[in-house]
Amino acid sequence: MTTNELLLAVETSCDETSVAVVRGGREILTNLISSQIETHEQFGGVVPEIASRKHVETITVIMEQALKEAKVSLRDISAIAVTQGPGLVGSLLVGIVAAKSLAMAYDLPLIGTHHIAGHIYANQLVHELVYPSIALVVSGGHTELVVLEREGMFRIIGRTRDDAVGEAYDKVARALRFPYPGGPYIDRLAQEAEEEIVLPRAWLEQDSYDFSFSGLKSAVLAVINQAKMRGETPMRSALALGFQRSVIDVLVEKALRAVHAEGARQLLLCGGVAANRGLRAALAARCESEGVPLLIPPLSLCTDNAAMIGAAAHLKWKRGEFTSLDMKAEPTFSLEEWSVRV
C-alpha cells in the first residue's frame, strides 16, 4: 500500500536539532539540521544539560523555517513524528513536548519513533528495500546487527558489549588530541597512513554476532603511553590505521556472516560511522565479491536528521499505529518492541 501523507518529523535525541517534512515516507520536502557540535567541542563531548538548553532555543525557529521551506502549512500536515528514544532524556523531551503541543493544537496524530529505526529507514529515502535484509547500525551510541524479516519487523542478533563504534572512534581520537567528534579525523589519518601498527581483533565467541571495542581502545592507549614513556611521540597515522582496520575487519566479517546465515537479500549500512571511508570501501569490496547488494544512504542522511524519523514513522502511519499524547521519552527504547504490529 502506498500513501502520500505529509509528516512533520522532529529529532532531538542528542546534539542535533532537526525538523523535516517528508511525503509518503520517501520524498524529502525539507530536512533542516542545526548542529551543536561547536558548542560541545570545547568540552570534548556532548554535555547533556547544554544540549537540552540549545534544543529549547532552536526548536520553534527551525520548525517554522522547515514548514516555510517545504511551502506547507500545519493544516497540510497529516501527523507529527518525533524521536521517542533512545537518546539523552533531556534532549528527547524538548522534541517530544514541541511535537505533542502541535499535535494537540492542530488535532493531529502523534507517532513516537525509534531513533535506530530512523537510521535504518534512512535507506528508504533513496533506495528500494527488499526483505529479508540485514542492517549494520554504526553510530556514536549504537553498534547493532539487525535482521529485518519484513517491513518494520526488527530482530537484533548482535550488539556491542561495551563501547559503540563511534564512541570508540571518539575516545581514540581524543587520546590522539583531536577535537570532538573525532571519528572523521581518525578516518582521514588512516587514509594517509603509510605504516600500520597492527592491533588485536575482538572476535568474541565463535558464533557470536556481538561486538566489543573497549579492549581495542585500551590497546591504542597502551601504545600511546608506551611511546610517551620512551619520550617519543606516538605514530598517529599508523595507530589510526591499525585501529580502523581492526574495527572494520570485525564489522565486515560479522555483517556478511549474518547476511548468509539469514538468507538476506540486501545489506544496509547506517548511522554516523557509515560516513567512514575505510568501512564503506571494505564493505563494498566484500559485498561485490560475494554478490550481496549493499545500500548506504548519502552522508547527509547517515548522521542524525529528522527526515530519517519521517521515513520510519511512515511504517506506523500506513498501519494507523499512533502514539498516545501522554507518551514519555524512552532513553533506552527497545527497537524490537517498536516493530510494527501487523
Judged by CB, which is closer to ligand KG4: 79, or 167?
167
Smallest gap from Cβ 161 to ligand KG4, in A, equals 17
Smallest gap from Cβ 15 to ligand KG4, in A, equals 8
Smallest gap from Cβ 214 to ligand KG4, in A, equals 15
Give the torsion sign (CA, 151, 157, 160, 166): negative
Please name which of 159, 176, 135, 256 lies closest in space to residue 213, comparing C-alpha atoms.
159
Residue nearest to ligand KG4 (CB): 272
Alpha carbon distances (Å) from 130 to 264, 293, 310: 9, 10, 19
Segment lying near Zn ion (by CB under 5 A), choices 178-186, 230-238, 241-249, 300-308? 300-308
Segment lying near Zn ion (by CB under 5 A), choices 171-179, 181-189, 304-312, 330-338? 304-312
Cα gap 235→269, rounded to integer Å: 30
Smallest gap from Cβ 6 to ligand KG4, in A, equals 25
Residue 11 interacting with Zn ion (CB under 5 A): no
Letters for 139-158 (x = contact with Zn ion by CB under 5 A, - = none) are: x-------------------
- By a kind-dependent CB cut-off of 5 to 8 A, residue 234 interacts, out of Zn ion, ligand KG4, none, with none
Q: Cβ(199)–Cβ(243) under 8 Å?
A: yes
Pairing of strands 6-11, 16-23: antiparallel
Judged by CB, which is closer to Zn ion: 268, or 292?
268
Judged by CB, which is closer to ligand KG4: 115, or 318?
115
Residue whose cell numbers read 502541535: 102
**E-only strand ranges, 167-316:** 267-270, 294-295
Smallest gap from Cβ 262 to Zn ion, in A, equals 24
Cα gap 104→107, rounded to integer Å: 5
Judged by CB, which is closer to Zn ion: 7, or 273?
273
Residue 304 interacting with Zn ion (CB under 5 A): yes
Neighbours of 102 (CB within 10 A): 18
- By a kind-dependent CB cut-off of 5 to 8 A, residue 25 interacts, out of Zn ion, ligand KG4, none, with none
Diameter of the chain by CA atoms? 68
Neighbours of 2 (CB within 10 A): 7
- By a kind-dependent CB cut-off of 5 to 8 A, residue 184 interacts, out of Zn ion, ligand KG4, none, with ligand KG4
Residues of this chain that bind ligand KG4 (CB under 6 A): 14, 139-141, 166, 169-170, 181-184, 187, 271-273, 275-276, 303-304
Please name which of 88, 110, 60 lies closest in space to residue 327, comparing C-alpha atoms.
110
Write out the three cell numbers for 149: 524479516
Q: By the criterion CB under 5 A, which residues form the site for Zn ion?
A: 139, 304
